[in-house]
Amino acid sequence: MQDSSPHSFVSIPLSSLASLSRRTFLQRSAAGIGLAALHSLVGESRGALPNHTPRAKRVIYLFQSGAPSQMDLFDYKPRLQKFRAQELPDSIRMGQRITTMTSGQKSFPVAPSIFKFAQHGNSGAWLSELLPHTAEIVDDLAFIKTMHTEAINHDPAITFFQTGSQIAGRPSIGSWMAYGLGSENRDLPAYVVLTSKGTGRRDDQPLYDRLWGSGFLPTQHQGVKFRNAGDPVLYLSNPPGVDRETTREMLDDVNALNRIQHEAVGDPEIAARIAQYEMAFRMQASVPELTDISKEPQPILDLYGPEVRTPGTYAATCLLARRLAERGVRFIQLFHMGWDHHANLPKALRGQCRDTDQPTAGLIADLKQRGLLEDTLVVWGGEFGRTVYTQGTLTPENYGRDHHPRCFTIWMAGAGVRGGVSLGETDDYCYNIVRDPVHVHDLHATILHLMGVDHLKLTYKFQGRWFRLTDVAGNIITPIIA
Amino acid sequence: MPIATPPSVPEIVLFLGRFHPLLVHLPIGFLCLLGLLEALARFPRLKPLAHGRGVILGLTLAAAAFTAACGLMLAQAGGYDAALLQSHQWAGIAVAVGCLLASFTHWRGLTRAYYGSLIVTLAVLAVASHYGGSITHGRDYLTQYAPEPIRELLGEETAPAPAKVAVVEEAVVFTQVVQPILKAKCAGCHNADKLKGGLRVDTLEALLQGGQSGPVIEKGDAAKSRLVNYLHLPVTDDKHMPPAGKPQPTGDEMAVLAWWIDAGAPADKTVAELKPPARVTRALETMFGTAEPDMPPQKLADLQPGIEKLSAELSVSIAPLSQTEPWLACNASLNTNFGDAELAKLAPLKSNLRWLDLGGTKITDAGLAPVSELRNLTRLHLERTAVTDAGLACVAKLRNLEYLNLYGTATSDAGLQQLRRLAKLQKLYLWQTKVTPDAAKAFAADITDKQQLHRWRQEIEDIKAKIRTATLDINVGAQLPPAPAQVAAKPVNDKCPVTGKPVDLAKTVTHEGKVIAFCCDKCVACFQQNPKPLLAKLNLTPINAKCPVTGKDVDPAKTVSHEGKVIGFCCDKCVACFKQDPKPILTKLNLQAIATK
């Protein structure tokens, strides 16, 4: 290795050749050897962005993984009580597909929500009794009651929300943002992911790291997940006997070796590796300060509810999200698991709401009093909705709901979002959209728009085709933009 | 303001009268032409010009007569300064008479008398014209901008124009702000000489008195003051003032007038005493020319090398807000060592900085001075810094500021008052400061341009009304459900018990609770005469052996038919129970299919 000249193609070790992708090989052959420049690696940002003055400088996406039930939380359907236990009419279902979990069911009895609804705020938004804290911030929220998606099962659906495609492999929305807008803070990743387990169904649904992957974008733009138990980032502290200077010297040497290899092979993954090592080194200093909440005053902690001191809870991640936002992180994504309530929905939903209601409302209130809500976009939502008919037996106290992609509710708040509005309307069965449908691509286009990015213009060429997050669709949801 | 027409004057008189300002230029022109002609004809070579004298003289006479007549009619309309009108009227008549005299002397060949009368008429013409001009444009129209010596010569008052005000706050609102506006935009028609609508605006007393239709100022309520309302009417509106074509007041001027009236239209209060809201302060600064000029941004391409150097040197992020505009956003909040010295180094970017985040930095009041130079700044973060009220004086100069974050600073109620001048401020964050909620609320109410809000709300209401009048609401009422078709109860038999033919569903008889059908009226009559033998032919055995209500044995006499089926009960009570609500009993009998029908 040491005697292989970095400028000689023939001297590349066989092992390197094996890992050389066809694309890299062709690029290198065409443009000569050692073409990749290293200077653009750190704090990278697209020169041509933003396309217009942004409303939001950062996003906090509160992903409710597993799909919360829209008609038990937001989409109030009082007339459904009349149809209790009756069959879902064919005129409503219209032969639409259902999942294999209920397709064997002989009957599809309608299960109206057993939870009480009331109007809140000046906007008079209807909310379930399960969300008493959210009720206090409704005037800051824009509800979209007519979200719909193309996927009917969790993985394709969450992949669709994350990447704009049901098939895994495309860059995630946070990666697009990190790639397009870069980071204001060199010491933290531009895209940070925090996960938490819910009390509803602790183990459902699993989350894969590829959900925040960078796809074909350079790897340093992938989301960095902070662990929800123990150290948020593993191996962050130096081993005994190694101080920061030593680590620095070691990294300098490793980087020098990597540069040699990079010039020889031209694989962009090596450049990504160098960038990641550097980021990790800086995070050794920045993360302990970030995750140390000992200086947070008690009244602030109280905003987020009693679980805020327990690492790995949704409350703890919400507080961390605010601290990340304050430190200029571009895209902060929380995933709270446990919303997949096929059976025993009332009990499980109560648990999930207890986990999330107060921390969510606390986060919004905390962002607001600090003036951060002005340039932070907050999005709350799952990957699809749930069915109006019960899965399993319907009793007066219990029911379950299957996956329903045809309509569900999400909300947005903060930068550039008009608070106190409710967009769209579903039918009396909360099954079909009556007015103003909003597609996943539309949501993506809107998030990008608020971040100052034209979703038609943020593109990346891969395998001979220009790709974008919104594929070949996407309309900005103008009614919710202030 | 509309001129109230004296009821005694016929409209045709007023109509013809309004031709006076048009016709008046004809005799003036003709007479001047005649004078010029006569003067030139004195030269021997131009002598032939004198031949045109007769024609011109005739035209002049006719024009002068018509003009004078129209003038007399116009005078009927009123609304003019009486003394001035009187002078103009007599001078005008004198011109007409002079023309007549000149014509007569010319006709009689009295050359000397002709020349004499012509010269006198021309002199009177000058006098009449000046009076006429004074009526239309105001008495000091001609001399207003005359050089000082001439004005003195003419005995005009030489009150100097309002002194240039060095400090806007010290200007007396009425004399130095309001009066000049009224003088420039209103006094042309509403002065001591030309009392249109009976209104004078040249003194405060006259202004407060109002015109023919009452007061124009409601002290303390500009929204109810006609002076303000008429300015805001669309130019096309008849009542809009000043009339279309005259110089219109600017938005700034209207805002100032409204503010002065809202403050009670005082005579001697200064700007500072009336505490102008931000919008008015800006208007005043523009009017007095004390506003700082706009600072156009530099080209980003020129700044680019400097940006990169500064960004690295100061460890801050400096990036363009967008690629379509030249603005920059600087975030220094991530560098906790950023202080006054570092802030001063941003000076080269001052014309391009739009957003500046100094949150959590080591910035102090003393070092905040460079911020006041950032005139294009719209967002400023000063939260969690050592900035106090003293530093806010610099911030108060940022007239484009829309967002200001002061949370976690020592800002107090007093400091808040300095921010009054921030006319474009939309968001102000004061969490964890010394500002009391009451003071913050009062400040927000104080800084709001209530006039403007009120007018916009009015406009919204007007537009809503327009939409209402422009839409046709058709009411056809709710659609009535179709009346249910009378369906005959299903009989127990399908063959006529008399003839054996198929039954006609319209020919049924209810016999002891059971519906029996026949083929024709004849058979019905037959049955009614003697039912017994025919009943025997029918199968009237109930489908059930036990009463569905009590479970006792069925009494064959207590049966009823329901949808063609015969149901038996034990007693009349149970029959009545069934007739009242058959559903539960049918369900019990497993006749659910019938029940749902």
State the Cα–Cα distance between residues B468 and B461, nearest whole angstrom: 10
Residues from B contacting A (CB-CB < 8 Å) are 317, 319-325, 327, 331, 333-334, 381, 383, 403, 405, 407, 427, 429, 431
Nearest residue on chain A to B328, judged by CA atoms? A53
B395: domain CATH number is: 3.80.10.10
Residue A97 has pLDDT above 70, yes or no: yes
Q: Is the pLDDT of residue A7 over 60?
A: no
User: Alpha-carbon dihedral of residues B42, B48, B51, B53, nearest 10 degrees?
Assistant: -30
CA dist., res. B560 & res. B571, Å (int): 12
User: Does position A226 have pLDDT exceeding 60, yes or no?
Assistant: yes
A22-48 confidence digits (pLDDT tens): 555 555 444 433 333 333 333 333 446
What pLDDT sits at residue A5?
Answer: 35
Cα gap B404→B386, rounded to integer Å = 15
Q: How far is A357 from chain B (nearest CA, A)?
A: 24
Looking at the fold, whether B39 and B148 belong to one and the same domain comes out as yes
A70 burial via Cβ count (<10 Å: 0-12, 13-18, 19+): buried
Distances (CA, A) of A17 to A267, A447, B280: 10, 41, 73
Residue B511 falls inside a structural domain: yes
Give the CB-side neighbour count of residue A2, counting CA atoms within 13 A: 0
Rg of chain A (C-alpha set):
24
Q: Give B-chain residues touching A452 at CB under 8 angstroms.
A: 321-322
CB contact (8 A) between residue A185 and residue B334: yes
Q: Measured between CB atoms, does A328 come within 8 Å of chain B?
A: yes
Domains of chain A are 56-234+293-480 (3.40.720)
Q: By the 8 A CB rule, do A339 and A68 touch? A: yes
Q: Does pLDDT of A2 surpass 50?
A: no
What does the pLDDT look like over A394-431, one tens digit per residue? 999 999 999 999 999 999 999 999 999 999 999 999 99
> Distance between CA atoms of B431 and B300, rounded to whole angstroms?
36
Q: CB B381 to CB A452 under 8 A? A: no
Q: Is residue B447 part of a domain?
A: no
Do B68 and B179 belong to one domain?
no
Nearest Cα to Cα of residue B512 among B561, B545, B550: B561
User: Nearest Cα to A327, choosing from A361, A286, A362, A295?
Assistant: A286
Q: Answer yes or no: is B492 within a domain.
A: no
C-alpha to C-alpha distance for B377 and B374, rounded to whole angstroms: 6
Question: What per-residue confidence (pLDDT) applies to B160?
Answer: 47
Q: Are B401 and B378 in contact (CB under 8 A)?
A: yes
Distance from CA of A142 to the nearest CA of B (A): 20
Q: CA A261, CA A274: separation in Å to the nearest integer?
A: 11
* Closest residue of chain A to B316, computed from CA coordinates: A184
Residues B306, B277: one domain?
Answer: no
- Do B415 and B305 lie in one domain? The reply is yes
Residue B371 counted as domain residue: yes
User: Which residue among A53, A184, A371 sits closest to B325, beta carbon to beta carbon?
Assistant: A53
Residue B147 and residue B51 share a domain: yes
Single out the residue in B379, B403, B435 at which a domain terminates. Answer: B435
Q: Which residue has the tokens 């009927």?
A: B76
Residues in A closer than 8 angstroms to B327, CB to CB, are: 53
Task: In whole angstroms, give the CA distance from residue A342 to residue B10.
Answer: 90
Using CA atoms, how far apart are residues A134 and A332, in angstroms rounded to an integer? 20
CB of A400 within 8 A of CB of A345?
A: yes
Measured between alpha carbons, how far is A57 from A151 in angstroms, rounded to an integer? 30
User: Distance between CA atoms of B34 and B18, rounded to whole angstroms?
Assistant: 27
Residue of B304, B311, B315, B317 to mutate, testing the A interface (most A Cβ within 10 Å of its Cβ): B317
Q: What pLDDT shows up at residue B533?
A: 82
Residue B461 lies in a domain: no
Indicate the helix (H) or strand (E) that contains B511: strand B504-511
Predicted confidence (pLDDT) per residue in A232-290, tens digit = 888 888 888 999 999 999 999 999 999 999 999 988 889 999 999 999 999 998 999 99
In this predicted structure, what is the pLDDT of residue A48? 66
Residues of the domain holding B19 = 11-153
CB pairs under 8 A between A and B: 49
Q: Would you call A49 and B323 a contact, using CB atoms and an 8 Å cutoff?
A: yes
CB pair distance less than 8 Å for A184 and B317: yes
CA distance A335 to chain B (A): 26
**pLDDT recorded at residue A479:** 96
What percentage of chain A has pLDDT greater than the value 90? 80
Cis previous bond, B529, omega within 30: no
* Final residue belonging to a domain, choices B121, B153, B185: B153
If asked whether residues B316 and B223 sit together in one domain, one would say no
**Residues of chain B positioned with their CB less than 8 A from the CB of A374:** 403, 427
> How far is Cα B134 from Cα B119, in angstroms, rounded to an integer?
23
Q: Least CA distance to A53: which residue of chain B? A: B322
Give me the interface pTM, i.e. the ipTM.
0.85
Q: Tokens 């409303």 belong to which residue?
A: A55
| Per-residue pLDDT at B163 | 53
Determine the residue type at A439.
Answer: H
Omega prior to B2 cis, within 30 of 0: no
CB A345 within 8 A of CB A210: no
The dihedral through the CA atoms of B60, B62, B63, B66 has a sign that is positive
C-alpha distances (whole Å) from B399 to each of B2, B221, B443 are 41, 28, 17
How far A347 CA lies from chain B's nearest CA (Å)?
Answer: 36
Chain B partners within 8 Å of A48 (Cβ)? 323
Say how many C-beta atoms besides its own lie within 10 A of residue A229's C-beta.
9
Q: Are strands B328-331 and B353-357 parallel, antiparallel or unpaired?
A: parallel
CA-closest candidate to residue A377, choices A415, A421, A332:
A415
Contact B334 A328 (CB under 8 A): yes
Inside any domain, residue B218: yes
Cα A300 to Cα A242, A384, A408, B320, B564, distances in angstroms: 37, 33, 32, 34, 76
Residues B227 and B352 in one domain: no
User: A369: distance to nearest CA of chain B, Å?
Assistant: 6
Tokens of A54: 């942004």
User: A-chain residues within 8 Å CB-CB of B381?
Assistant: 371
Residues in B closer than 8 angstroms to A51, CB to CB, are 322-324
A463/A321 Cα distance (integer angstroms): 36
Bridge partner residues of A460 (DSSP) = A467
Q: What backbone torsions phi and psi does residue A242 show, to the nearest 5 degrees?
A: -110, 120
Do B325 and B223 fall into the same domain? no
A369/B429 touch (CB, cutoff 8 Å), yes or no: yes
Asked if B333 and B361 touch (Cβ cutoff 8 Å), the reply is yes
Instruction: Indicate whether B27 belongs to any domain.
Output: yes
Same domain, B329 and B398: yes
* Contact call for A374 and B403, based on CB within 8 A: yes
With 0-12 / 13-18 / 19 or more C-beta atoms within 10 angstroms meaning exposed / middle / buried, residue B316 is buried
CA-to-CA dists, residue A130 to A73, A116, A118, A126, A127, angstroms: 7, 8, 11, 12, 8
Q: What is the DSSP letter of B174?
A: I
Alpha-carbon distance values, B204 to B209, B214, B216 (Å):
8, 15, 12
| E strand or H helix that includes residue A422 | strand A421-423
| B369 shares a domain with B305 | yes
Q: Which of B322, B383, B403 sits opposite A452 (nearest CB)?
A: B322
Residue A48 contacts B, CB cutoff 8 Å: yes
> Are A177 and A190 in contact, with CB atoms under 8 Å apart?
yes
Taking the C-alpha atoms of residue B186 and residue B175, their distance in angstroms, rounded to an integer, is 15
Is residue B227 left, alpha or beta, with left meaning phi > 0 and alpha meaning psi from -120 to 50?
A: alpha
Q: Which residue of A has its CA nearest to B304?
A: A47
State how far the Cα of B283 lies from the Cα of B319, in Å rounded to an integer.
34
The full DSSP string for B512-573 is TTEEEEESSHHHHHHHHH-HHHHHHHS----S-SB-TTT-PBPPTTSEEEETTEEEE-SSHH
Decide if B595 contacts B586 (C-beta within 8 A).
yes
Residues B274 and B344 in one domain: no
- Closest in A184, A370, A374 to B331, CB measured: A184
In this complex, the residue of B323, B403, B407 whose CB is nearest that of residue A50 is: B323
Last residue of a domain, one of B236, B265, B288: B288
Total domains present in chain B: 4
- Residue B467 contacts by C-beta under 8 Å, 6 or more apart in sequence? none
The tens place of each residue's pLDDT in chain B, 597 residues long, gives 344 445 578 888 889 888 998 999 999 999 999 999 888 988 888 888 888 888 888 999 899 999 999 998 888 877 777 788 888 999 999 999 999 999 899 888 888 899 999 999 999 999 999 888 888 887 777 777 777 777 777 665 544 455 566 677 788 888 888 888 888 888 888 887 777 888 888 888 888 888 888 888 888 888 788 888 888 888 788 888 888 777 888 888 888 888 898 888 888 888 888 888 777 887 888 887 777 778 889 998 889 888 989 999 999 999 999 988 899 999 999 998 999 999 999 999 999 999 999 999 999 999 999 999 999 999 999 999 999 999 999 999 898 999 999 999 999 999 998 898 888 899 999 999 999 999 999 999 888 877 778 888 988 999 999 999 999 888 888 777 776 665 567 888 888 888 888 888 878 888 887 888 888 888 888 888 888 888 888 878 888 888 888 888 888 888 888 877 888 888 888 888 888 888 778 877 776 444 444
Say yes or no: B321 and B412 in one domain.
yes
Min distance A48 CA to chain B CA atoms (Å): 6
Q: How far apart are CA A283 and CA A277, in angstroms?
A: 10
Which residues in A lie closer than 8 A to residue B325 (C-beta atoms)?
53
Is B30 contained in some domain? yes
Return d(Cα B395, Cα B537) in angstroms, integer. Answer: 109
- Best probe of the B interface among A186, A370, A449, A454, by most B CBs < 10 A, is A370
**How many CA within 13 A on the CB side of residue B360?**
10
Residues of A in Cβ contact (< 8 Å) with B378: none
Which chain A residues are Cβ-neighbours of B333 within 8 angstroms?
Answer: 328
In chain A, which residue's Cα lies nearest the Cα of B332? A184
Cα–Cα distance measured from residue A398 to residue A381, given in angstroms and rounded to the nearest whole number: 24
Test A48 with B323 for CB contact under 8 angstroms: yes
CB B399 within 8 A of CB B282: yes
